[in-house]
């Protein structure tokens, strides 16, 4: 900050430069107050601040009255927290009840800046603030940042799976740019289900793009190489690759050859147990199967299967057969024939040579079946099969047969894709699909907004592995749960979530705002879950203070199905004449919230962190 504001680069700052700095920091401070802080810090009385004097000024500016007050509530002398006083605070306010004394010692060692205080096992107010701003003081339970659910040995249909639609597009669906960057970004975000649309290309090389549109093209070979390189950098858990196949027989042979050559033993070409697939595998990463990808067909033609039963010994990628009636755009619908994976054991099956044998041999799990009704699926389908539904079809099923949909998703995978009318790559609300247990809810990862905030919020837990175990009542085939019917919920009564929004710290300016403009921030808390839990409340706005606004307002919510609830905190710049501007947000699952005094470290519109912007709350 000092270097930014020291315009003439003389290593000191006059009052005019300090005023400019305050504007840069989103502080609209009364000039007399600013001058008083400036003069207090100017120990040399030179009319400028140098080095340590600037540090004094900055400390006075950033002093947190609300933190000091909280500190003094637990400190007998108002200057330090003894080990026992810190233990009291952790137990009474932070509701830490296991190994509290060890935790207190750990926090002092980690966050107390004074060596003397550390040696005496006490925490100063500076150390206390550092703890509150640390991962241990975050609203997100740090234990849930790693693989906290532990159980990864259940069938794939028991997990929500982070899923992307038309992954190769980084803009809109008609003229947008196709790029391997789309795959890299999605994989780095923990995405585990990716989509590839394959079409015949020049010189016998299949290409990836959105057919019948003006999107640019990328060679299939480049996509596969990218997957081989990035698939397991963020997560060790299975990748599902949805292949929409529009290629001629000749180029299908090339697809198969490139998949096998580039991915090698990463491509799964047999069932995990070498037997006929009667059930879905689990995502479990073991020594025998350290990595795997599951490839699925969204294209035309039927998959034949030879199934030689050989077992690979290194990471693998699984090819599944998926089919859909996914529209390309607007009224132009393409009816995609359901692909056929393994049927009647390992019997070979072809349909007018519509799928090359070499490509078909890559298909193991997730044979696509067209969906007619839950009753028919239960009578004629297998757990290793999958249905793809448009968002509109899924919504109708949720509305008409919610409990049947939940039951169906306890034993079989369902993939949901966006409406063909969403040519701008906008997204539908994934929450209503998760409410009935749909696992593969495919979103346009390139489009920032509430929907991707929810997706990032749900999958930010569990080490960002891209898999989240569904609640127990969504894994039981006899479940009575229906998200639209409160009478079907087996809960002892609603959970009350009380959030005191205390203050904000160094909130960013609104993008493209006028020079010198200061924001008028408000905080909105949104609950996304079953329809009865959907709610939003907001604080009043604070005029001209993006630096250290104080709200001290309490918001309260009743959650009937907290297991499915996501909480989204949004900061906006209030505008009485037009729509409020977005400032920052943070979204997390209710299960990952830590109670007590917590900081919420805000994220930008595209989900990247914007330190040191935060909210201070009490849960």
pLDDT recorded at residue 326: 46
Between the alpha carbon of residue 435 and those of residues 160, 389, 439, the distances in Å are: 11, 15, 10
- Catalytic annotation on 177? no
Cα gap 455→20, rounded to integer Å: 39
Peptide linkage before 612 cis (omega within 30 of 0): yes
Active-site position among 144, 210, 291, 408: 210
Alpha-carbon distance of 130 to 617, in angstroms, equals: 16
pTM for this predicted structure? 0.87
Hey, what CATH class is 495-618 in? mainly beta
In the CATH hierarchy, which fold is given to the domain comprising 66-137?
Recoverin; domain 1 (1.10.238)
What's the topology of domain 1-62? Recoverin; domain 1 (1.10.238)
| Cα 526-172-320 angle, rounded to 5 deg | 85
pLDDT value, residue 448: 95
Does residue 158 have an active-site annotation?
Answer: no
What is the pLDDT, as a whole number, of residue 311? 30
Maximal C-alpha separation, the chain:
91
Strand locations in 329-428, DSSP E? 367-368, 385-390, 413-417
pLDDT score, position 287: 46
What are the residue ranges of CATH 3.20.20.190 in the chain? 156-300+355-474
Residue pair 476/410 in contact (Cβ under 8 Å)? The answer is yes
User: What does the pLDDT read at residue 29?
Assistant: 67
Task: Give mean pLDDT in consecutive 10-residue pieces for the chain, a chain of 619 residues.
Answer: 80 87 74 84 92 85 91 96 98 95 97 95 95 96 90 93 94 88 95 95 95 90 95 92 92 93 84 76 70 68 33 41 41 28 29 69 79 92 89 98 97 95 95 98 96 98 95 96 92 93 92 82 98 98 93 98 98 94 97 98 94 94
Q: Of the residues 33, 144, 158, 165, which is catalytic?
A: 165
- Paired tokens of 171: 């803009």
Task: Report DSSP letters for 536-580, one per residue.
Answer: EEEPPP-TTBSSS-EEEEEEEEEES-GGG-EEEEEEEE--SSSPP
- The 3-state DSSP class for residue 425 equals coil
Q: Does domain 156-300+355-474 have CATH number 3.20.20.190?
A: yes
Phi/psi for 540 (5° steps) reads: -70, 170
Q: With beta carbons less than 8 A apart as the criterion, state whether 104 and 97 touch.
A: no
Could you give the CA distance from residue 506 to residue 150 in angstroms, rounded to a whole number? 37
Enumerate helices (H) and strands (E) in the chain, giving the number of each: 18, 25
Do residues 475 and 154 make contact, with C-beta atoms less than 8 angstroms apart?
Answer: yes
Taking only Cα atoms into account, the Rg of the chain, rounded to an integer number of angstroms, comes to: 28
Closest-CA residue to 592 (of 459, 473, 433): 459
Which residues of the chain form CATH 2.60.40.150?
495-618
Q: What pLDDT shows up at residue 463?
A: 92
Give pLDDT, residue 45.
92
Residue 310's pLDDT is what?
30
pLDDT for the residue numbered 595: 98
């Amino acid at each position: 900050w000092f270097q930014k504001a020291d315009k003439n680069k003389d290593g000191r700052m006059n009052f005019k430069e300090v005023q400019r700095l305050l504007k840069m920091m989103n502080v609209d401070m009364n000039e007399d107050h600013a001058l008083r802080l400036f003069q207090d810090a100017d120990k040399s009385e030179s009319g400028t601040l140098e080095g340590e004097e600037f540090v004094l000024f900055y400390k006075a500016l950033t002093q947190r009255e609300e933190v000091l007050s909280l500190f003094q509530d637990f400190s007998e002398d108002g200057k330090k927290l003894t080990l026992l006083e810190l233990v009291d605070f952790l137990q009474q306010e932070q509701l830490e009840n296991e190994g509290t004394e060890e935790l207190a010692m750990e926090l002092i060692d980690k966050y107390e800046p004074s060596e003397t205080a550390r040696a005496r096992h006490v925490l100063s107010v500076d150390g206390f603030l550092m703890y509150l701003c640390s991962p241990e003081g975050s609203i997100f339970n740090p234990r849930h940042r790693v693989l906290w659910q532990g159980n990864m040995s259940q069938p794939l249909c028991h997990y929500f799976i982070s899923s992307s639609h038309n992954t190769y597009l980084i803009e809109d669906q008609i003229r947008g740019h196709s790029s391997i960057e789309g795959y890299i970004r999605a994989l780095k975000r923990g995405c585990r289900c990716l989509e590839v649309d394959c079409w015949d290309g020049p010189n016998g090389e299949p290409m990836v793009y959105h057919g019948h549109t003006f999107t640019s093209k990328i060679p299939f070979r480049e996509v596969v190489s990218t997957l081989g390189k990035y698939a397991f950098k963020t997560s060790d858990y299975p990748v599902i690759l949805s292949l929409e196949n529009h290629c001629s027989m000749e180029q299908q042979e090339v697809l198969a050859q490139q998949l096998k050559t580039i991915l090698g033993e990463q491509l799964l070409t047999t069932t995990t147990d070498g037997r006929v697939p009667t059930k879905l595998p689990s995502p479990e990463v073991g020594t025998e199967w350290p990595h795997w990808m599951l490839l699925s067909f969204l294209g035309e033609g039927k998959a034949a299967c030879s199934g030689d039963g050989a077992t690979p010994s290194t990471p693998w990628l699984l090819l599944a057969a998926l089919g859909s009636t996914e529209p390309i755009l607007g009224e132009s619908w393409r009816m995609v024939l359901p692909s056929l994976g393994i049927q009647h054991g390992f019997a070979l099956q072809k349909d007018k040579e519509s799928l090359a044998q070499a490509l078909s041999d890559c298909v193991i799990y997730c044979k696509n079946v067209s969906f007619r009704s839950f009753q028919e699926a239960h009578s004629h389908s297998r757990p290793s099969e999958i249905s793809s539904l448009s968002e509109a079809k899924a919504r109708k099923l949720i509305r008409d047969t919610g409990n049947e949909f939940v039951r169906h998703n306890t034993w079989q995978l369902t993939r949901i894709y966006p409406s063909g009318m969403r040519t701008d790559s906008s997204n539908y609300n994934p929450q209503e699909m998760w409410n009935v247990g749909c696992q593969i809810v495919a979103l346009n990862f390139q489009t920032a907004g509430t929907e991707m905030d929810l997706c990032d919020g749900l999958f930010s837990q569990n080490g960002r592995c891209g898999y989240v175990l569904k609640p127990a009542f969504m894994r039981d085939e006899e479940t009575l749960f229906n998200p639209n019917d409160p009478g079907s919920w087996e809960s002892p009564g609603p959970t009350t979530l009380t959030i005191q929004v205390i203050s904000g710290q160094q909130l960013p300016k609104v993008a493209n705002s006028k020079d010198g403009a200061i924001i008028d921030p408000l905080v909105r808390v949104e609950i996304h879950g079953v329809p009865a839990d959907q709610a939003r409340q907001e604080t009043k706005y604070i005029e001209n203070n993006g630096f250290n606004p104080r709200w001290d307002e309490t918001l309260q919510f009743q959650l009937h199905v907290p297991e499915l609830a996501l909480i989204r905190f949004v900061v906006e710049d209030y505008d009485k004449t037009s729509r409020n501007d977005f400032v920052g947000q943070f979204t997390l699952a209710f299960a990952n919230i830590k109670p007590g005094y917590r900081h919420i470290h805000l994220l930008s519109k595209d989900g990247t962190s914007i330190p040191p912007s935060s909210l201070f709350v009490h849960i």
